[in-house]
């Protein structure tokens, strides 16, 4: 369970950061360096795909800079004004990535522990 949780946390952390096109490369590189579960680390990034996570990070970054929410999150403010929102996206993702990593790792650890316990229990019963 601990290894799966670490792989999920690593995948979540890198998936939230605003490096479009390089999430997979970064996740696989660090997974190889840390000898984590490749399938878990790579596939957890699908939970954080656009548009939800980037919009959330832009909102968080805007709030951190201005003290209020960007209430008009529409095509114009998020796509046409993208050059103005990149710093907010970076700032919000740097704040959100560790939080998402801890939450994802914690949920994965709990689920893996429960499933592992059930498998061990079934093995004892059948023996």
- pTM for this entry: 0.82
Query: Residues in the chain with pLDDT < 50?
Result: none
Q: What's the confidence (pLDDT) of residue 126?
A: 57
Q: What's the confidence (pLDDT) of residue 127?
A: 53
C-alpha distances (whole Å) from 105 to each of 1, 66, 117 are: 10, 31, 18
Q: What's the confidence (pLDDT) of residue 43?
A: 92
Q: What's the confidence (pLDDT) of residue 7?
A: 95
Q: What are the pLDDT digits (tens) for 14-35?
A: 999 988 889 889 999 999 999 9
């Amino acid at each position: 369970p601990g290894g799966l949780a670490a792989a999920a946390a690593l995948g979540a952390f890198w998936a939230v950061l605003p490096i479009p096109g390089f999430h997979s490369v970064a996740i696989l590189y660090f997974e190889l360096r840390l000898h984590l579960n490749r399938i878990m680390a790579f596939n957890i990034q699908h939970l954080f795909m656009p548009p939800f996570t980037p919009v959330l990070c832009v909102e968080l970054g805007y709030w951190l800079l201005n003290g209020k929410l960007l209430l008009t999150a529409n095509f114009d403010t998020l796509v046409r004004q993208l050059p103005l929102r990149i710093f907010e996206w970076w700032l919000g993702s740097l704040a959100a990535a560790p939080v998402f990593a801890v939450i994802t790792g914690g949920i994965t650890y709990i689920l893996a522990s429960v499933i592992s316990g059930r498998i061990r229990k079934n093995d004892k019963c059948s023996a």
